[in-house]
Structure 1
Amino acid sequence: MLEPKIPQNEVQRLNAVQSYQLLDTLPEDEYDNITSLVASVCNVPICLITLIDKDRNFLKSHYGVNIDESPRSTSFCGHAILTPQDLFIVEDARKDSRFKNNPIVSEQGHLFYAGAPLVNEEGFALGTLCIFDMKPRTLQHKEKEIIVALANQVVKLFELHKKNNELNKTYKELEERNKRLKKFAGLVTHDLKSPLGNITTLTRMLKEECLTAVSDQCNQYLDYIEESSVTMKNYVNDMLDFYKSDGLLKEKATQFLLNELFEELEEMLFVDNSNFIHPTQSISIHTNKQALYQILLNLIANSLKYSHHSNPTVTIEFSEDFQNYIFKVIDNGQGISPKDQKGIFDMFKTTANTDKDGKRGSGIGLATVKNLVKKLNGTIKLESTLGKGTSITFTIKKTV
């Protein structure tokens, strides 16, 4: 028995399979009707619609069998997707070196197989529409045409399913954005009203106090004005960064050296009493550089801003698996209490911590990070211990 080879475009193919969000879904009549029809027309006991995942065949429809998945290593479908332009036929598996001693043949007695690869518009073979029989046989020309034609219909059903998911996602995003805008409008009238009022009142007091001379009291009023203005400016800037973050996602993925990106961040953010530890070897990755830069910029700046350590240190660890780039940003700051960690990435969520100047954050920066990571098909999580520091791990899905 020979295990199926892995296609050269396997990362992209798996991304395509997962993008349809059909893995591990329940049976649906649209697909079951097709497998039933093909089994009847071809007079076979088994007809399947499969999606080939990393290590398994997921059976979206399984006429004639009672299983939902099977190992990819022994599958006929794994061989079928290697020639996505052709109908893959094995007339007698006992005589084919690829399937001798295969448990599907030796234990289950499946001798005949025909599978039409389910190829999407980008050319990725997602799985197959296939049939099995317990005896060797051949297919008539008309039967072959029917299998191929209905395989195309399956792909169209996949595309409709995907578009429906995208519409639902867009609808939910619009709903969420509207909720944020409403919440922001309410917070603006509350949180910005106070510093703006301070500016107006203090300016009047300043005019009255400084008609004849500039006193210490005038200087104090000026300090109040500056503090209120900075608070307002930071709040507005954070909001602008959040809403501009979606624009970064329009940038195309490019190939670049990760260590050069770290060097840019180090030059911008780190001074003599702060330390930046990061991989220095030449690591080439392919993703949206501007979005990744903004994510790391926000996380590192946050770590430095809220560190009360005499020598603040930020460490970045990088690794990767088959489908994801994995980043971990670690600091030696004051940490975050367990009660404040809940919902830490939600918009306007703030903690009891204050920055080096004694001010609290706006609760927007980490929401911006989460938004970017999510749009890059990644995940993010936080671990923190009071008095020891915080680590934030996020992933970004590979594009090639």
Structure 2
Amino acid sequence: MSVDELVRDAVLAATGLPVPGSGLEITVPMPSQRLQNLVELARTVCGQPVTAINIITEELQYQVATAGMEPYLCTREDSMCAVGFLNGTSTVVEDASADPRYSSNPYVDGRRGAIRFYASIPLVTDEGFVLGTLCAGARETGKLSERQRQGLEILAAEIVEALELEHRARQLAGALAEAQRSNTLLADFAGRISHDLRNPLTSILGYVELSQMEAADGPNSQIATYLNVVASSGQRMLDMVENVLAYATIGGDIRPAELSLTAIVADVVQDLAASIETSGASVDCGDLAFSADPVQIRVLLQNLIHNSIAYGRPGVPPVIQITGQRTAEGATLRVTDNGKGISETDRERVLHPLVRLHREDDPPGTGLGLATCARIAAAAGGRLDISSNSGAGTMVTVHLSGNT
């Protein structure tokens, strides 16, 4: 096979047209309605009894649509259209039996047919590759007017576009099927994980409730206070497990509601009370009323505040400030701290799952926190940006769309 033929077969394959490995191992595909309409229109334009759309590979010719005849398969050696079609110019022959290029062809000399009039228009891609031909034929001699030839050439260009569009449609259908398959698998996985996490959490909350009942009868009221915090945090954790795992499917379920930034941060601070107390961190939050999914936003803020505490500078108590403002698109939330910061070269990378920086004194982690935050922002129709907080620490800006 020549280099040109290898390239042409690669183009055929890229257009979604079958290219056999050898011999006649290919079956004639069923024509699409659009291709069938175009080949019927070609028959009307040229006024001939038979028209066909031929794809020509290194070894054979097969027809993807025909009018006035049944599609057939033949070797390239026997094909009339394969004669000179690669030069990209149209061919019109009034009597093929009198033309030395075709007179000995089996479809002309009577072995397989007795074609006399013959016209062939190459199917040329925008890149200049010839996929095959649009041809017309008859058992009687005939002619084409210049207007008819031009009409067939226009139709040939439409056929090439139709072949490319059908290939893109097949690709899209395949991607959709894969997405649906992935969605089903992920939903099954999320269901199993949800079950495995829900059971121990439910058990913990049950024992907390029993402890609360016993503590209420005892002298140590401080224990009851601690248990109330554990119960509240545990219940929110259970809610997060169920909602975040539901989100872990393509097109996660987003339920926007009117929220108060201070109220959400207060819940998060309560959940992170032990870490805040141990690190000596301070958390300051300005209020903002905005619309977003409450569970998703709580997960986002909890991850960001936890990061600000975990990645503080040694010996420096974390100072964390959360602010928000309305924008034309929806709302913008900012979480700033005085911690180690993230270098400019790493700011894009840390938004990918399982990426950790492995800096000195960094705590262990999964590398999923910022990736989860970025995904939540994207699901809310926005984005997440990382920058420096006035040269020290980190500023994470979350842009939220009001259209979610």
TM-score by length of 1: 0.42
Which is bigger in relative contact order (C-alpha 8 A, separation at least 6)? 1
